[in-house]
Amino acid sequence: MPNLKLSHLLSNKKDTFAPKRGPMRYLFLVISVFVMHPALSQDKPEAPRKNADSLRTVELKRKPPISEKQPAEAITIRDYKIISFQRDTTFLDTTLTIAKDYKYNYLRRDDFELMPFSNVGQPYNRLGVALEKRDVYPVLGARARHFNYLETEDIPYYNVVTPLTDLFFKTTFEQGQMLDATLTSNFSKRLNVSIAFKGFRSRGKYRQDEAQSGNFRVSANYITENGRYQFRTHWTAQDLKGQENGGLADAEAQFESNNPDFTDRARVDVLFNKVQNELHGKRFYLDHKFRLLRGGTDSLPGRGGLYLTHRFEYESKWYQYTQNDNKTAYFGPLIFTPVKDQAYLKTALNQVGTEWNNRILGRLEAFVSLYDYNYYFTSILNTGTEIIPNKLGGQQVLGGASWDKGFGGFRLRASGGLGLSGDLTGSYLDASIRVPLGKKHAFTGGLHHSTRLPDFNFLLYQSTYENYNWNNSSAFSNEQVQSLFAELRSETWGTLVASFSSVDNYTYYASTADADQIAAGEERAWVRPFQDNERLSLLRLKYEKELRWRKWALNNTVLYQQVDQSAQVLNLPELVTRNSLYYSSHVFKKAMFLQTGITFKYFTEYYMNAYNPLLADFYVQDREKLGGYPLLDFFINARVRQTRIYLKAEHFNAAFGERNYYSAPNYPYRDFVIRFGLVWNFFS
């Protein structure tokens, strides 16, 4: 194992930006658990066989009772189960594929439809968008700071036969590293506990560009021996911080001109100094149920019967923007100084229902939920023309039902809810069907409907800047989304996903600055929320297919998007493509599996959204088209047993191409850089 220490993954440089409190202080808990980890093991592992495939990378043995004489049963990788929020179960995957390379990033998921900024942990501009509402209720806002914020649906649960450790490490940019460590163990056959921490720090190449975050989470799930009672729960504490430099002060002279005096990006002038925003959140979640009646057709524990269900979730979250160097031209006139804007949101969900589960009808659930919310600021503001209240609060009562049934290769799912009282949610409906088409093909289709108010920062906002105070709680209407989608998945022809969505009352940010104000650098001083009164439609076609010849492969992903709108309120590139040509082979007498190649990514020119650091959100602009440039990465990936090693030369064509690559207006994409890291699984 490389000589890596958790305490060395963050720079020990002392400055005012380092966090004083937050999830980073929980790092010592992870270290302690790692020290005690071997003590949790009950069986000593044997060395893996050299010729074993990826599904038998763990060759532990289950010891039979003394009275039995049959040989011990081999433990395979499929015995290390991961359960999602939707209760779908997968197993740990230690293989090395091109899909794993796409997910080896700060978010640990495929970022094909995202355009990252120059530093790790900064916002992502969107190259594609799904208009379906993931959240039933409005959220805090500050969406550019939420890409790495783990929501309730992002927390997995586990069921493992021996203690399991997943260790993710990757270098960042200047004075920092990134680590994501997860440890999970079954303390009995029916009780699993996991503890995880993801932390990083990166100073960045440009001035005032530092970012850092910490995501601490603990989860547990349990079921009694007879299956009568079961629960799953988690607790998270997260903070995400970033300095904001406002973009380049003179992009044409210091960046696009390729002036050798500014090859060192620390010399490039930026707009802001001593500015940062941050997002903090804590959440407790509990989902449990008690069986009232046993099902007559189910003998397995926890599978059949009538259950009383209860779900409880409490979350406290706050967003803050601070600025010690006050320059009013960027955001308009100041009411007072220093600038320290804070928005808070506290929510509590109580949901009670009944669930009927058997093999014939599947899982049926009916529920009633009470959602209590309090979005607030610390004072009431009188602007002279209007009074801006300090909070939006109340309760929402929602009734709903869900159904999930699988038989053969078919899968039917449906869920819906209707607001019985309150102002946040009108209704929602999701339904899908999966149909097998032979052994190598499958079709999935479905629909989505939702109506709810926009996010809270569209409705109400208070700021030290005079122009960033509004109250739209009565003026804005519910956003209404309708969507149809279809997916055809084939081992022969690839995967094609088509969707058509329409939105009424689409809500967005835009600047009302005129040409003179924009020329004076005051565009962001006039950013406000708006609602589009006309219907907006989006057509998406996404195709994925990998072509193979011997040890060579060409992996292709293409996204086509067409927006039908009366005004320019949803800007997306018409075409996004990613193509990876790579070579794979076993080397060193099959002791290592090697994968090397080049990834090409390209998107057509479009009016890319501009970034607003005060709101930590993007706004629509129609004066500058960006895109139309290639992004080339060279990679060498290797796998040795359960360890995957990654080495990548990111955006290597920046060393000889034009300086026209941006992530947002005035925010350059990263230059050529070489980064490396690994993902390591331990079984003990």
* Model pLDDT for residues 621-660, shown as the tens digit of each residue: 999 999 999 999 999 999 998 899 999 999 999 999 889 9
The answer to whether residue 211 is domain-embedded is yes
The C-alpha atoms of residue 616 and residue 412 are separated, in whole angstroms, by 39
Instruction: Pick the most confident of 5-14, 300-309, 511-520, 611-620.
Output: 611-620
Tokens 């069907």 map to which residue? 433
The answer to whether residue 1 is domain-embedded is no
Triad 177, 128, 644: Cα angle to 5°: 35
The answer to whether residue 33 is domain-embedded is yes
Sign, CA dihedral 371-375-380-382, equals: negative
The C-alpha atoms of residue 427 and residue 420 are separated, in whole angstroms, by 9
**pLDDT bucket at 31, cuts 50 / 70 / 90:** very low
The C-alpha atoms of residue 494 and residue 547 are separated, in whole angstroms, by 9
pLDDT in tens, 396-406: 999 999 999 98
- Of 92-106, 236-250, 379-393, give the lowest mean pLDDT range: 379-393
The C-alpha atoms of residue 496 and residue 557 are separated, in whole angstroms, by 10
DSSP 130: -
Strands (E), 505-535: 507-511, 527-531
The C-alpha atoms of residue 379 and residue 381 are separated, in whole angstroms, by 6
Note the pLDDT of residue 106: 96
- Of 77-86, 286-295, 328-337, 497-506, give the lowest mean pLDDT range: 328-337
Total residue length of the chain: 684
The answer to whether residue 177 is domain-embedded is yes
Residue 467 has pLDDT above 50, yes or no: yes
pLDDT in tens, 323-356: 987 666 789 999 888 899 999 999 999 999 999 9
For residue 391, the enclosing domain spans 6-123+132-683
Work out the average pLDDT over 670-674: 95
The answer to whether residue 344 is domain-embedded is yes
Provide the number of structural domains found in the chain.
1
The partner residues of 638 in beta bridges, in order of sequence, read: 594, 645
**pLDDT bucket at 46, cuts 50 / 70 / 90:** very low
The C-alpha atoms of residue 142 and residue 239 are separated, in whole angstroms, by 13
> Cis peptide before 123, with omega less than 30 degrees from 0?
no
**pLDDT bucket at 111, cuts 50 / 70 / 90:** very high
Q: Which carries the bigger pLDDT value, residue 327 or residue 661? A: 661
The answer to whether residue 440 is domain-embedded is yes
Q: Which carries the bigger pLDDT value, residue 160 or residue 43? A: 160
Strands (E), 589-672: 592-603, 610-612, 617-619, 631-640, 643-650, 662-664, 667-668
Q: Is 75 exposed, middle or buried (0-12, 13-18, 19+ CB in 10 A)?
A: buried
> Cα(first)–Cα(last) distance of the chain, in Å?
15
**pLDDT bucket at 62, cuts 50 / 70 / 90:** low
pLDDT in tens, 350-360: 999 999 988 88
Note the pLDDT of residue 19: 41
Q: Which residues contact 511 (CB under 8 A, 6 or more apart)?
A: 518, 523, 524, 526, 527, 528, 610, 619, 621
**pLDDT bucket at 1, cuts 50 / 70 / 90:** very low
Note the pLDDT of residue 382: 81
What is the number of other CB atoms lying within 10 angstroms of the CB of residue 69? Answer: 7
Residue 87 has pLDDT above 70, yes or no: yes
Q: Does residue 208 come out as left (phi exceeding 0), alpha (psi in the -120 to 50 range) or beta?
A: left
The answer to whether residue 363 is domain-embedded is yes
Residue 45 has pLDDT above 90, yes or no: no
CATH of the domain at 168: 2.40.170.20
- Of 129-143, 318-332, 391-405, 475-489, give the lowest mean pLDDT range: 318-332
Cα separation values, 446 from 111, 279, 399, 413, 495, Å: 24, 35, 22, 9, 16
Q: Which carries the bigger pLDDT value, residue 32 or residue 638? A: 638
Note the pLDDT of residue 361: 87
pLDDT in tens, 414-463: 999 999 998 888 899 999 999 999 889 999 999 999 999 999 999 999 99
